[in-house]
Amino acid sequence: MNSFKQSEEGIAKLKKELNAIIVAHNYQRPEVQDIADFTGDSLELARKSVGIEAEVIVFCGVRFMAETAAILNPSAMVLLSHLEAGCPMADMIDVGKLRKWKQDYPEAAVVAYVNTTAAVKAESDFCCTSANGVEVVNAVPNDEVLFVPDRNLGHYVSTKTAKKMIVYPGFCYVHDRITAEQVKLAKQRYPQAKVLVHPECRPDVIDMADAALSTSQILRYAKQSSDKTFLIGTEEGILHPLRKQSPEKEFYTITPDFVCADMKKTTLEMVLETMQTRRNVVTVPEEVRIRAKQAIDRMLAIT
Ligand code: 13P
Ligand code: SF4
């Protein structure tokens, strides 16, 4: 029996024993996505977390996503598939920096991208994801918005709103390193391709794309489109569900090395070990959880 099969069987057995549900982000390794009960983008995973009745949620993704599940579903035990799977962009802002920044803009509301720690969400007025940033910012009652931490998503949203946006200079190293020149070269190679990018890409990359979308929005766009070839400007894990749902279509990432090292830390063996040992329990102090939940609940009420 190969090691994937062995792990799959162990995971299936433990799922029953622990009354567990496995959720995975669209960037996870194909074999990890395949054993999940639910896959999705950050917004879908947050929404799903609210209603999960299982005793254990095994979260295959990065820390801020598992924290969001722990914030929204405090009665479940949330296990993160790899202890050190984090998001470098989320770590670019902390509570101290945010508090200091807020003092300079007392009239502004803080909108925190979901890629932030629970503590930063607790200091924010609204949460948003890449799927609903524009809707959330437009729904904020204040005229001024402090947006943390992604400068590229913040810039993208600022082009779609009349609000005055002050954007923190954080970025995702995976998306930010893609250049307009690379898009140009990819388009020369596949001139007929539709270009779908994530809003964490740089503004000049987004300008060259047919659409800037969250990971699940990319999946829906590609499914509904009559086009046959797509250039994808996001982490390569998305190629697995894209090819699965539309085997007759062709999908290529803009560059071959479009990889988030943290998203790839989780292996099938690690999911099994995490369940066997019930390790990597993600907890959020109650006082932080309540305040972070307010920011997330406000987002969920808008979209
Ligand atoms: P999505 O919410 O679009 O899935 O994106 C999450 C993320 O981390 C992008 O880098
Ligand atoms: Fe964070 Fe970028 Fe990885 Fe998404 S792709 S989890 S933003 S480092």
What 5-11 contacts at long range (C-beta under 8 Å, 24+ apart), as own/partner pairs, is: 7/268, 7/269, 7/271, 7/272, 8/35, 8/268, 10/272, 10/275, 10/276, 11/35, 11/268, 11/271, 11/272, 11/275
Query: Which of the 8 DSSP states describes residue 92?
Result: G
Interatomic CA distance for residues 280 and 47, integer angstroms: 22
Among residues 172, 201, 200, which one has the least CA distance to residue 186? Answer: 201
Quote the pLDDT of residue 3. 83
Q: Are 195 and 209 in contact (CB under 8 A)?
A: yes
Q: Is 262 in the pocket of ligand 1 (CB under 6 A)?
A: no
Task: State residue 70 phi and psi, 5-degree precision.
Answer: -70, -35
Q: Are 291 and 116 in contact (CB under 8 A)?
A: no
Distance 43 CA to ligand 1 centre (A): 9
Q: Is 87 in the pocket of ligand 2 (CB under 6 A)?
A: yes
3-state class (DSSP) for residue 236: helix
Distance 4 CA to ligand 2 centre (A): 26
- State if pTM tops 0.85: yes
Q: Atom 2, ligand 2: which residue's CA is nearest?
A: 172
Q: Atom 3, ligand 1: which residue's CA is nearest?
A: 214
Ligand 1 atom with the smallest distance to the CA of 87 is 8
Q: Is 266 in the pocket of ligand 1 (CB under 6 A)?
A: no
Quote the pLDDT of residue 138. 98
pLDDT band at 1 (very low <50, low <70, confident <90, very high): low
Percent of the chain clearing pLDDT 70 (strictly above)? 100
Task: State residue 201 phi and psi, 5-degree precision.
Answer: -75, 165
pLDDT in tens, 132-165: 999 999 999 999 999 999 999 999 999 999 999 9
What's the chain's average pLDDT? 97
pLDDT band at 193 (very low <50, low <70, confident <90, very high): very high
Q: Is 115 in the pocket of ligand 2 (CB under 6 A)?
A: yes
pLDDT in tens, 96-119: 999 999 999 999 999 999 999 999
For each of the domains in the chain, give its residue range(s) and CATH number, in order of start. Answer: 3-85+263-285 (3.40.50.10800), 90-171+287-302 (3.40.50.10800), 174-253 (3.40.50.10800)
Return the residue matching tokens 């910012």: 137
